[in-house]
Amino acid sequence: MIADDSSTRLAAVQDRIARAARLAGRQPDTVTLIAISKTHPTAAIRPLIAAGQRAFGENRVQEAEAKWPALREETPGIALHLVGQLQSNKAEAAVGLFDAIHSVDRPSLIAALAKAIDKTGRRPDCFVQVNIGDEPQKGGVAIGDLPALLAEARTAALPIVGLMAVPPADIEAAPYFALLAKLAREEGIDRLSMGMSADYETAVTLGATHVRVGSALFGSRA
């Protein structure tokens, strides 16, 4: 049964996060598990909500708009995170829907988000995404441009709470997690959104405060 599967998987992931946190001398409750539900229908999400999971992530505004208003009406207290690239023309919709945005990566988006926050009165937690592996096809600000972008975000009064990164695929992620943690320390930022299904325990040992786990909870995406 799907329900049994996903609640069993949830317990296993929570357990691994707790073990990794203790290994690093941290309290398990300093790590937020974000269940990344992109591509999965509401029927696959409900069992996790029933099992107590409350933080979820999507990578597309439109898909989130289609799925989450109904789920949130059924269960109050759900926090919705945007983990995908955001077009400036969707900033207002994103600010209206999400409690956290993990993909702030350029001046034009900062301006659009600041305007949307002003207009709606909603202030989602914002993470600046860093292109930690310097990969042209990936979103995120270049490491060298991070200080200037953060300065711009502060000037725009954007509620920047953390840094986010997706390391290059298929190679050891730990050095990239350590680098993101170092950049955050240098900038006086305390939250770190890093770690996915393949490497969330490593990320926790290196300081992740938010791990973004999809397939380890929901099974593989079609």
- Among residues 97, 149, 166, 192, the one that binds ligand PLP under rule CB under 6 A: 166
C-alpha 79/C-alpha 2 separation (Å) is 23
Token reading at 58: 């999507």
Q: How many residues bind ligand PLP (CB under 6 A)?
A: 13
Please identify the residue of the shown chain whose CB is closest to the bound ligand PLP.
214
- Among residues 20, 31, 83, 173, the one that binds ligand PLP under rule CB under 6 A: 83
- Indicate the burial class of 75 (C-beta count within 10 angstroms; 0-12, 13-18, 19 or more): exposed
- Among residues 111, 123, 197, 219, the one that binds ligand PLP under rule CB under 6 A: 197
Contact yes or no for 153/104 (Cβ under 8 A): yes
The structure tokens 């350590």 sit at: 178
Q: What sign does the dihedral 191-192-193-195 (CA atoms) show?
A: negative
Q: Is 14 in the site for ligand PLP (CB under 6 A)?
A: no
Range list of β-strands (E), the chain: 32-36, 55-58, 79-82, 100-104, 125-129, 160-164, 191-193, 210-213
Q: Which stretch binds ligand PLP (CB under 6 A): 19-27, 108-116, 150-158, 206-214?
A: 206-214
Q: Is 42 in the site for ligand PLP (CB under 6 A)?
A: no
- Among residues 36, 146, 150, 203, the one that binds ligand PLP under rule CB under 6 A: 36
- Of how many residues is the chain composed? 222
CB of 216 to ligand PLP, least distance (A): 6
Q: Which stretch binds ligand PLP (CB under 6 A): 3-11, 13-21, 69-77, 212-220?
A: 212-220
Token reading at 155: 């000037």
Q: Is 39 in the site for ligand PLP (CB under 6 A)?
A: no
CB of 119 to ligand PLP, least distance (A): 27
Q: Which residues bind ligand PLP (CB under 6 A)?
A: 36, 38, 59, 83-84, 166, 196-197, 212-216
